[in-house]
């Protein structure tokens, strides 16, 4: 193996959820030595049975001996706990890559803490959902040290089709926030358009086919328009997760002074969907609030 980018490397993956599980799988498939950790240990055992590698009982033990440690956990406090533990076990120069969607504040906090330990912390949230994770075609938006990015990039390419360094610590999370802002208002607009079409007695499917050829076109219209009309809302990314992400957005907007009135309103509409019992429905379920 003369090409160091394809040489097997010792890595750890902490958090084997809907996203983390298949992402770690792509690293194993590429030939890397993957040690996994999951809070519920049974999930880690099942992952090892399917993909090889080995499991460890704590983040610290998983990280020991790894060059790069990947994280895909729930919220700010999970990142603090898991990354904080992992960085004490890493050798100097090691890199922690956090694929969780959390605040830019916690990313910068972890970045500073990592530097004290002579290691690096990259915030690297992803988009593309469960399907993107399974197919290994995620978009990875990365913030943090450029050399650490260069070191981890070939590994992230195992599950990412587009892996981009967006700027200093926090820039990955901030980019993901822009993504979620754009989606929130767009999906609501689409839902309003489609429910208007229904109320007006139009053939909604025909309307989607026609207007998706022009200036109203969007990925959401092409991929969710027809299913929204059919009342099908089981396509992955759940309302509960979207509300978590929008909470992070609204917090950050309060800090940086950005005006996001429609985003704030759509967050409240998602609260309506939750109140209707739609916590686990996908984000296109905004449609449910508008139809009878």
- As annotated, the active-site residues are 176
Sole window of 8-16, 44-52, 83-91, 184-192 interacting with its own copies (rule: CB under 8 A): 184-192
Give the list of residues 6+ apart from residue 167 with CB closer than 8 angstroms, or none.
143
Scanning residues 67 to 106, which ones bind its own copies (CB under 8 A)? 104
In whole angstroms, the minimum distance from the beta carbon of 63 to its own copies comes to 29
CA distance 46 to 52: 10
**Three-class SS state of 65:** coil
Closer by beta carbon to its own copies, 94 or else 204: 204
**161 φ, ψ to 5°?**
-85, -30
Contact 174, 143 (CB under 8 A): yes
Closer by beta carbon to its own copies, 113 or else 262: 262
**Three-class SS state of 179:** helix
């055992």: which residue's tokens?
Answer: 45
In whole angstroms, the minimum distance from the beta carbon of 224 to its own copies comes to 9
262 binds its own copies, rule: CB under 8 A:
yes
272 binds its own copies, rule: CB under 8 A:
no
In whole angstroms, the minimum distance from the beta carbon of 120 to its own copies comes to 20
Closer by beta carbon to its own copies, 180 or else 285: 180
Q: Binding marks (x or -) toward its own copies, 193..232, rule CB under 8 A?
A: xxxxxxxxxxx--xx--xx-xxxxxxxxx-x---------
- Dihedral over Cα of 149, 152, 153, 157: its sign: negative
46 binds its own copies, rule: CB under 8 A:
no
Q: Binding marks (x or -) toward its own copies, 144..163, rule CB under 8 A?
A: -----------------xx-
Terminal Cα distance for the chain, rounded: 62
Give the list of residues 6+ apart from residue 255 with CB closer than 8 angstroms, or none.
none
In whole angstroms, the minimum distance from the beta carbon of 199 to its own copies comes to 4
CA distance 33 to 9: 6
277 burial level (CB within 10 Å; 0-12, 13-18, 19+): exposed
Dmax (CA) for the chain in angstroms is: 65
Cα angle 146, 247, 186; round to 5: 85
In whole angstroms, the minimum distance from the beta carbon of 16 to its own copies comes to 23
277 binds its own copies, rule: CB under 8 A:
no
282 binds its own copies, rule: CB under 8 A:
no
Sole window of 23-31, 37-45, 84-92, 245-253 interacting with its own copies (rule: CB under 8 A): 245-253
Q: Which of 137, 132, 75 is nearest to 101 (CA)?
A: 75
27 binds its own copies, rule: CB under 8 A:
no
**22 φ, ψ to 5°?**
-65, -30
48 binds its own copies, rule: CB under 8 A:
no
In whole angstroms, the minimum distance from the beta carbon of 225 to its own copies comes to 9
Binding site for its own copies (CB under 8 A): 104, 127-129, 132, 139, 141, 161-162, 164, 166-167, 171, 174-175, 177-186, 188-190, 192-203, 206-207, 210-211, 213-221, 223, 249, 252-253, 256-263, 265-266, 289-290
């Amino acid at each position: 193996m003369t090409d160091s980018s394809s040489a097997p490397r010792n890595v750890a993956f902490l958090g084997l959820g809907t996203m983390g599980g298949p992402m770690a799988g792509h690293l194993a498939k590429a030939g890397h030595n993957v040690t996994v950790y999951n809070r519920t240990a049974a999930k880690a055992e099942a992952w090892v049975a399917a993909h090889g590698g080995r499991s460890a009982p704590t983040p610290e033990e998983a990280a020991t001996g790894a060059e790069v440690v990947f994280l895909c956990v729930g919220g700010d406090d999970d990142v603090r706990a898991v990354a904080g533990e992992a960085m004490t076990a890493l050798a100097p120069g090691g890199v922690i890559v956090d694929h969780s969607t959390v605040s830019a504040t916690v990313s910068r906090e972890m970045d500073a803490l990592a530097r004290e330990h002579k290691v690096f912390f990259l915030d690297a949230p992803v988009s593309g959902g469960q399907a993107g994770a399974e197919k290994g075609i995620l978009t990875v938006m990365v913030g943090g040290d450029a050399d650490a990015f260069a070191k981890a990039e070939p590994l992230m390419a195992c599950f990412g089709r587009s892996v981009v360094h967006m700027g200093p610590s926090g820039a990955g999370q901030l980019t993901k926030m822009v993504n979620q802002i754009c989606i929130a208002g767009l999906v609501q607009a689409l839902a309003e358009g489609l429910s208007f079409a229904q109320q007006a007695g139009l053939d909604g499917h025909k309307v989607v086919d026609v207007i998706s050829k022009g200036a109203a076109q969007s990925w959401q219209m092409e991929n969710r328009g027809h299913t929204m009309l059919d009342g099908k809302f089981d396509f992955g990314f759940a309302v509960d997760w979207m509300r978590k992400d929008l909470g992070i957005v609204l917090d950050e907007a309060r800090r940086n002074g950005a005006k996001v009135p429609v985003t704030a309103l759509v967050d409240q509409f998602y609260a309506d969907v939750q109140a209707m019992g739609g916590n686990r429905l996908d984000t296109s379920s905004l449609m449910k609030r508008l139809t009878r």
